[in-house]
Structure 1
Amino acid sequence: MNTKPLLHTILSPGLLNLYDVNNSIVVIIDVFRATSTITTALFNGAAKIIPVANVDDCKAIGAQLNAITAGERDGKIIEGLQHGNSPAEYPRSFIDGKTMVLTTTNGTKLLHMALENGAAEVVTGSFPNLSAVCDFLANTNKHVILGCSAWKNRFNLEDTLFAGAVINRIKDNFTIHCDSSMMAEDMYNLHKDHMYNFIRKTTHWHRLSKFGLEKDLEYCVTPDVANVLPIYKDGALTVS
């Protein structure tokens, strides 16, 4: 009997230790905004992106490599870093051929947790690269964990919406006995036709729109505007 690989959705980094990450592909999802920024920068020609968990490492590695340093905490650019976590900051005219060192509140933290827990492969996903993520996962024969970065370990809507969008497309390729995955897909199906309105209800919208980032957030739920697959290898994210 040909058994399909398993797919699970974790709704928060705080739940990662409940799952067997070994030999699984982990998709890091941080829609607002880390994984949207990562795919946009790579789509626009960035050579590589080095995700780091803390600010001091970001500064040190940036200086060592003469790289762009970027990051945020609580939605704001970190003092001492050159750039923030907005996809709009990384057009081709600026980022093409450059290396970026990035630290964020939630996404880069979960990425390092997945690696420490023995993930077979780590990729990053958001609506701007939805099709690239789905095509990759549909053609693998490994277990998959859709990892929502959430907000400081608390559930958020937008990352779960993206997990639901992925499941909606690739569920026939996997065995899914996972209530969080079922919930994610149901939520996506309920709101997929009015995403721009729905995201205005999220806590992240209220948090980030105060900084004038409404266009950023709409971009982050627009499918396939930066359709490449960032994959983690040898300490950096590059285009698969």
Structure 2
Amino acid sequence: MQNKPFLYTSLSPALFHLYDLSDSVVVIIDVFRATSTIAAAMYNGAAKIIPVADVDECKRIGAELGCITAGERDGKVIEGLQYGNSPAEYPRDFIDGKTLVLTTTNGTKLLHMAVERGAAEVVTGSFPNLSAVCEHLVKLNKNVILGCSAWKDRFNLEDTLFAGAVISRIKDHFTIHCDSSLMAEQMYQLHQHDMYQFIRHTTHWHRLAAYGLEKDLEFCVTEDAANVLVTYKNGELVAG
């Protein structure tokens, strides 16, 4: 019988260096809100999304290519960029066929870390595209690292809950000897039926709800609300 591939969960970018990415698919998880926004924009027909870590680079690429620039720092739209990091900002009648250059506090940083450290493949995941991510990971049959973007290197609950949702669906296809994965799965199973209520206790909820983003945050934990696979290829996120 063929050995199953391994699955690990990195709870923070500060722990990411502990994992071997060389033959692994890395799932970038930034539930509130980068990877949820990415899923929404791609589901609604965006041609591609160019994720950049730096604000000036975002402005430069946007000017060069004549595309939409978007980003936030600490939950607020960055001065000089056109749009923010809200899934609601990218309906089909706006984003269809367009290119988006996006910079965020945590998610784009972790994505570039994964690429620089030689991940075999990088995909983005959040509750809105949960099924697409799970189906892809099972089909690939490669080692998986679930990478939580966290909050400025500090652990957060919502990314861990999504990792747990993935694990609960696909664990039979993987070898999992990883306490962070065990914790993530058990936490998800404990709260999967009261997610809208549970997320109201999180630090990120309190930070972002202060800007009136409650509906955003509920969308971000709604399973399969924008069920599209998003992969990173040649510097761009595209629909898989």
What interval of TM-score do these two structures reach, taking the shorter chain for normalisation?
Answer: over 0.9
Q: Distance in 1 between matches of 2:51 and 2:176?
A: 30
| Superposed counterparts of 1:156-235, under 5 Å | 156-235=156-235
Partner of 1:112: 112
Q: Distance in 1 between matches of 2:43 and 2:101?
A: 16
Identity %, equivalent residues? 76
Q: Distance in 1 between matches of 2:108 and 2:100?
A: 13
User: Aligned partner of 1:235: which letter?
Assistant: G
TM-score (norm 1): 0.99
1:163-204 alpha-carbon deviations (Å, 9 max, x no partner): 000000000000000000000000000000000000000000
**Once the 2 structures are TM-superposed, how far is the Cα of residue 90 of structure 1 from its aligned partner?**
0.1
| Superposed counterparts of 1:133-148, under 5 Å | 133-148=133-148
| Superposed counterparts of 1:14-93, under 5 Å | 14-93=14-93
Partner of 2:150: 150
Q: Which runs of 5+ in 1 are unaligned?
A: none
Q: Distance in 1 between matches of 2:139 and 2:160?
A: 22
User: Aligned partner of 1:135: which letter?
Assistant: E
1:10-51 alpha-carbon deviations (Å, 9 max, x no partner): 000000111101110000000000000001000000000000
Count of aligned residue pairs for this structure pair = 240
1:66-108 alpha-carbon deviations (Å, 9 max, x no partner): 0100000000000000000000000001000000000000000
Helix, strand or coil: the match of 2:129?
A: helix
Structure 1 stretches of 4+ with a deviation exceeding 2 A read: none
Cα RMSD between the aligned structures?
A: 0.4
Q: Distance in 1 between matches of 2:2 and 2:236?
A: 35
User: Aligned partner of 1:17: which letter?
Assistant: H
Q: Distance in 1 between matches of 2:43 and 2:193?
A: 26
Q: Distance in 2 between matches of 1:157 and 1:214?
A: 16
Partner of 1:94: 94
Q: Which runs of 5+ in 2 are unaligned?
A: none
